[in-house]
Amino acid sequence: MSIPECTLRRATVDDLEGLKVLWERANLQVLDLERRLTEFQIAVTESGELLGALGLQIDSKQGKIHSEALTTPEHQDTIREQLWQRILVVARNHGLVRLWTEESSPFWTQQGFHEIDADDVQKKLPARFGDSTKHWHVLQLREESATTLSLEREFELFQAAQKESSDRMMEQAKRFKAVAYSILTVAVLVAGYFVLRLFIRNPAIFSPHR
């Protein structure tokens, strides 16, 4: 049986119901994946039938391929290959240097994914991708130049400096607000004191019949 013509594209909210069914069949964590909908590339027929989905989580210059879900067994290899080519395009468009996966299908080792030393996993795997002690395979897409690493480090330092500056401004604003309230409180108390003294000395001033 020939595979139906399909379109490869990024998932949208309109695809969510179909994806939920696909994820449930693949025994994946549906609630978690719902929140990560836009990470998925999907294969869908002209009639709207969802044939497969594959996630790509991006962290800086690295990506994690995850949550593979495919439909009919006779078409799985073809759909997986098409989704993989789509993922590669997205990865290169983002300038990724490395891809990681926990997917166990032999297909991934055939594409060049391989195991690396546990120490290298600890050093290179982004914390957001998961537990570094699990069974990971990695594919190097391109070399990390010293310039690229330097720019990324400078950007991280810039972000940290911006956050520190923003936090400092917020703290200064809080202190200014506290001082302003203190001054206002003192002014009200002083005004109240003089009004009270005036009332004690000459209560007739405040008489409505004066």
**Residue that terminates a domain, selected from 92, 127, 144:** 144
- pLDDT tens readout for residues 125-166: 999 999 999 999 999 999 876 545 555 555 556 666 677 777
Q: What pLDDT does residue 158 have?
A: 64
Does 105 lie in the same domain as 182? no
What integer pLDDT is reported at residue 67 of this predicted model?
96
* pTM over the 0.85 mark: no
C-alpha separations of 121 from 50, 99, 110, 137 in Å: 34, 12, 20, 9
Clarify whether residues 63 and 111 are in a common domain. Answer: yes
97 and 171 co-located in one domain: no
% of the chain with per-residue pLDDT over 70:
86
User: End-to-end CA distance of the chain, in Å?
Assistant: 105
For residues 87 and 133, state if they share a domain. yes
Considering the domain architecture, whether residues 25 and 100 belong to the same structural domain is answered as yes
For residue 97, what pLDDT is reported? 96
H-run or E-run covering 59: strand 50-59
Residue 1 lies in a domain: no
99 domain residue, yes or no: yes
Q: Taking residues 3-20, what's their average pLDDT?
A: 92
Which structural domain range is residue 186 located in? 149-206
Q: What is the pLDDT of residues 15-63, one digit of tens each?
A: 999 999 999 999 999 999 999 999 999 999 988 899 999 999 999 999 9
pLDDT in tens, 185-208: 888 888 777 777 777 777 666 666
Question: What percentage of residues in the chain have a pLDDT greater than 90?
Answer: 56
Domain boundary among 124, 144, 164: 144
Question: 144, 171, 192 — which closes off a domain?
Answer: 144
Distance from C-alpha of 41 to C-alpha of 85, rounded to nearest angstrom: 10
Q: How far apart are CA 206 and CA 118, in angstroms?
A: 85
Residues 109 and 159 in one domain: no
**Rounded mean pLDDT of the chain?**
86
CA–CA separation, 70 vs 52, rounded Å? 4
Give residue 124's pLDDT band: very low, low, confident or very high (50, 70, 90): very high
Measuring CA to CA, which residue among 123, 121, 147 is closest to residue 134?
Answer: 121
> Do β-strands 62-70 and 98-101 pair in parallel, antiparallel, or remain unpaired?
parallel
Total domains in the fold of the chain: 2
Whether residue 65 is found in the same domain as residue 10: yes
Domain at 38, CATH number: 3.40.630.30
Q: Domain check: are 163 and 100 in the same one?
A: no
Q: Residues near 8 by Cβ (< 8 Å), separated by ≥ 6?
A: 41, 42, 43, 82, 83, 85, 86
